[in-house]
Structure 1
Amino acid sequence: MNIHGRNPVIEALKAGKEISKIYFRYGTHGQVLKQIEHLARKAGVPTVTLPKQKFDRLEGGNDPAAQGVVALIEDVRIYELDDLLEIEKEQDPPFFVALDSITDPHNVGAIIRSAECAGAHGIILPKHDTPPLTDVVMKASAGAATHIPIAKVTNLRTALEKMKTAGIWIAGLAGEGEVDLFTLDGFKPLCIVVGSEGRGIRPTNLKACDELVRIPMWGRIESLNASVAAAVAMYEVRRKRV
């Protein structure tokens, strides 16, 4: 897997990921690049400067998001659901985010980024209804996918039921929800389920939710983008836990 962009590469280095090599585009300069070189030396990661033409081929075209830096990294570690449930949460109750049928890699990456920033303990992704964790997802996550544990499950309904058995409250985001987000109990062990923008959470997974939560709307548009809705919900949980 390639990671494109200065900040995602820095985050991957800080996270101690298995980076095999870092490529710079010839003529690229700046303090951030010096920081990457410093971190790479400390980690024993070789760096190579390439002519623009070769660098552009490596990144798959002249992509401005690469910012003159590409890292070759091992695939993001994928956890089992049991691994996430056993992660030590210190004094913070378990807090997870599950995605249902979100197929846009930019949305997936943005949700991963928000989840990591909001202090969630893990992400649950269906194996068959989620895009692979490609460099597009990595860029959209700004490197957060290298920090937050991610589990992939064969059947999301089964995974949600297993989490309920483990004492985790399942809250699904839905426009028809009876519970206002701002009244949600954010202190209990919690998993927020986020559905696709088109059809929302699938009916079978809705049945696994302990409650459906709506985000209040004051404008004329009925709903938020999936990644924005997820971020609003996660930060409301974090606000209550501060």
Structure 2
Amino acid sequence: MSSPKVVFGFHAVGVRLKTAPQSILEIYFEPTRRDARMRSFLEKVAQYGVKLVEADGLRLSKLAGSHAHQGVAARVQAVQLRTSLDELLEDLEARNAALPPAQRTPPLLLVLDGVTDPHNLGACLRVADGAGAHAVIAPKDHAAGINATVAKVASGAADTVPYFMVTNLARTLNELKERNIWVIGTSDAAPQSLYQADLKGAVALVLGAEGEGMRQLTAKTCDALVHIPMRGAVESLNVSVASGVCLYEALRQRQVHIA
């Protein structure tokens, strides 16, 4: 079993309590905070029978590695969402095969190339969860890993969205293409708009870090490149905002298609 880690903040701890209470070793809370939000939170904890430990703000800050703990932190065991990307895709394929065509859900993946800021990663995981993406993929050597800051910003999505760090991103993208998953990258220089792309089928949306964008090999591996229309003075969007725009456009097209 892996070593315990710490998640903090009402959203992150609350989602872990809801989705995997058995993984929580103990929850630390600041007893001097007695507002309605804390009272409601402690009532939920009591329902699950999780051990509660009183801790002052200093101890919570040390546990969380941040002052943004909101008076709540938890020591937890890691939750294994899927052992591999292949396993996730095979499970999804098997599930779809058992459903009538109108009820099938084609894979929707978010690929991040060069996103090293944990705040950006956390926000990307949160929007991926909201849009129903099946997984987020990133290269091992050029990306942020899951830590307490990521979990806090993700507001619980770090426990619900599988995050796969792969050794060779270009090879992984080619393997996705072999599974008939259309790989679409974003680039300011792309002639085609995001809104001209067909995102109703199996798709992996690839975004690079703000400013630098995707690496050249990653861009070359994509089946197509699209741009997000920019009508104002700024030239680009934060990667988490761009992820939201792309994922929710895919969701919109799929809902229209189903309707």
In 2, Cα distance between the equivalents of 1:27 and 1:134? 27
Q: Deviations over 1:176-223 (max 9, x none)?
A: 112211111121100000101132111111111000010011112211
AA matched with 2:184: A
Over aligned residue pairs, what C-alpha RMSD do you find?
1.7
Q: Secondary structure at the match of 1:218?
A: coil
AA matched with 1:82: D
Alpha-carbon distance change, 74 to 203 in structure 1, aligned in 2, over 3 angstroms: same
Deviation at residue 115 of structure 1 after TM alignment: 0.6
1:25 counterpart (30, 42, 45): 30
Q: Deviations over 1:150-201 (max 9, x none)?
A: 2121111011000000110000011111221111112110000010113211
Q: Which residue of 1 aligns with 2:89?
A: 85
Please, which runs of 5 or more residues in structure 1 have no aligned partner? none
Q: Which residue of 1 aligns with 2:78?
A: 75
Q: Give the TM-score of the pair, scaled to structure 1.
A: 0.93
Please, which runs of 5 or more residues in structure 2 have no aligned partner? 97-103
2:11–2:152 CA contact under 8 A, matched in 1: no
Q: Which residue of 1 aligns with 2:135?
A: 122
Q: Secondary structure at the match of 2:150?
A: helix
Q: Secondary structure at the match of 1:102?
A: coil
In 1, Cα distance between the equivalents of 2:252 and 2:55? 45
Q: Which residue of 2 aligns with 1:51?
A: 56
Alpha-carbon distance change, 107 to 51 in structure 1, aligned in 2, over 3 angstroms: closer
- The sequence identity of aligned pairs, in percent, is 37
Bigger mean CA deviation after superposition, 28-37 or 17-26: 28-37
In 2, Cα distance between the equivalents of 1:60 and 1:170? 37
Q: Secondary structure at the match of 1:66?
A: coil
Q: Give the TM-score of the pair, scaled to structure 2.
A: 0.87
AA matched with 2:132: G
Q: Which residue of 2 aligns with 1:144?
A: 157
Q: Which residue of 1 aligns with 2:175?
A: 162
2:8 counterpart (4, 12, 18): 4
Q: Secondary structure at the match of 1:220?
A: coil
Q: Which residue of 2 aligns with 1:173?
A: 186
Bigger mean CA deviation after superposition, 73-82 or 99-108: 73-82
Query: Quick check: 1:60 aligned with 2:65?
Result: yes
In 2, Cα distance between the equivalents of 1:173 and 1:210? 11
Deviation at residue 31 of structure 1 after TM alignment: 3.6
Q: Which residue of 1 aligns with 2:109?
A: 96
2:60–2:69 CA contact under 8 A, matched in 1: no
In 2, Cα distance between the equivalents of 1:209 and 1:108? 21
Alpha-carbon distance change, 71 to 10 in structure 1, aligned in 2, over 3 angstroms: same
In 1, Cα distance between the equivalents of 2:243 and 2:180? 22
AA matched with 1:16: A
